[in-house]
Amino acid sequence: MRMKHLDTLRAFALMLVMVQHYGGQTLNAYFPIGAGSMGVGCFFTLSGFLITGILLQSFDSGVKTKRAAWLDFYARRLLRLMPAYYAVILALVVMGIEPIAHSWPWHAAYLTNLWIALGHPDNVFWSLSVEEQFYLFWPFVIVFVPRRFLVRTILALAVVSLLFKLGVLLAGYNTRTVGRLLPGNMILLGAGCLLAVTSFHQTRANCFDWYTSRLHRRFTFAAFIALGLAV
């Protein structure tokens, strides 16, 4: 499910993350809601959209059994992500670069975000942990939740995500570190999932016939309002 315009969007998200890490204070000042936050949020939304579309098409096409589709999905995720990821972790451990060198089992198990939430130093592996944890549970939702309840399930998860963030804030915890956890990012992943479900029609993903010019104008207006409120 390769779409060039989404690859372009992914490239912009990558550039935003690079600005966050290497742009310095002067350049980052132009992004009042955080260049890195915007980039990672874009990645999460894209993941929710693409993964949900892949799963719906695999499970509903009837070409494979659900078991075969399940195994195929996990095999593709493992082969795509793990070799490069573990190569980087191994290099950091061999070179003794902290904090990875002494805490590598957490990162190897894709639990970096939990490790950070427990009070340890932040590092870039947290977003990959969120992605992998999402990959582990989301296929079960797609398989076991009836299609007529799928939109409501995604909206419910988004509400839970917002309540989780509110609870963290009211409880006085560090919202940045606890926000690294999957529940805190489910609203972003869920936005992509919701778009994928509403764009799935008769075993075919990415059907945007419903996206009329009138809707385009409304979504654009809503996007600018949301961005203004965020800033």
What is the structure's pLDDT at 7?
84
On whether residue 221 sits in a domain, the answer given is no
Confidence check: pLDDT of 63 > 70: no
How do residues 117-134 score in pLDDT, each as one tens digit? 888 888 889 999 999 999
Question: Helix, strand, coil shares of the chain as percentages rounded to 5?
Answer: 75, 0, 25
Residue 59 carries which side chain, given as an amino acid letter?
Answer: F
Counting the structural domains of the chain, the total is 1
Rounded CA-CA distance 96/106 in Å is 16
On whether residue 231 sits in a domain, the answer given is no
Percent over 70 (pLDDT), the chain: 97
What is the structure's pLDDT at 222?
92
How do residues 198-229 score in pLDDT, each as one tens digit? 888 877 777 888 888 888 899 999 989 988 88
On whether residue 12 sits in a domain, the answer given is yes
Instruction: Tell me the CA distances in angstroms from 21 to 7, 50, 123, 124, one per residue in order.
Output: 21, 26, 11, 10
Confidence check: pLDDT of 1 > 60: no
Lowest mean pLDDT among 43-52, 94-103, 150-159, 174-183: 174-183
On whether residue 230 sits in a domain, the answer given is no
On whether residue 15 sits in a domain, the answer given is yes
Backbone angles phi, psi at 132, to 5 degrees: -65, -40
What is the structure's pLDDT at 134?
94
Q: What is the 3-state secondary structure (H, E, C) of 27-48?
A: HHCCCCCCHHHHHHHHHHHHHH
Domain that holds residue 152: 4-201
On whether residue 82 sits in a domain, the answer given is yes
Rounded CA-CA distance 96/204 in Å is 48
> Under a CB-based contact definition with an 8 Å cutoff, are residues 66 and 139 in contact?
no
What is the structure's pLDDT at 20?
85
How do residues 148-182 score in pLDDT, each as one tens digit? 899 999 999 999 999 998 998 888 888 878 888 99
Mean pLDDT across 53-78: 79
On whether residue 226 sits in a domain, the answer given is no
How do residues 20-37 score in pLDDT, each as one tens digit? 888 888 888 888 888 888
On whether residue 67 sits in a domain, the answer given is yes
What is the structure's pLDDT at 138?
92
What is the structure's pLDDT at 112?
93
* Structure-model confidence comparison of residues 120 and 68, the more confident one: 120
> Under a CB-based contact definition with an 8 Å cutoff, are residues 23 and 36 in contact?
no
> Nearest-5° angle of CA 108, CA 112, CA 113?
150
> Nearest-5° angle of CA 129, CA 74, CA 153?
70
Backbone angles phi, psi at 119, to 5 degrees: 110, 5
Confidence check: pLDDT of 188 > 90: yes
Confidence check: pLDDT of 66 > 80: no
What is the structure's pLDDT at 193?
94
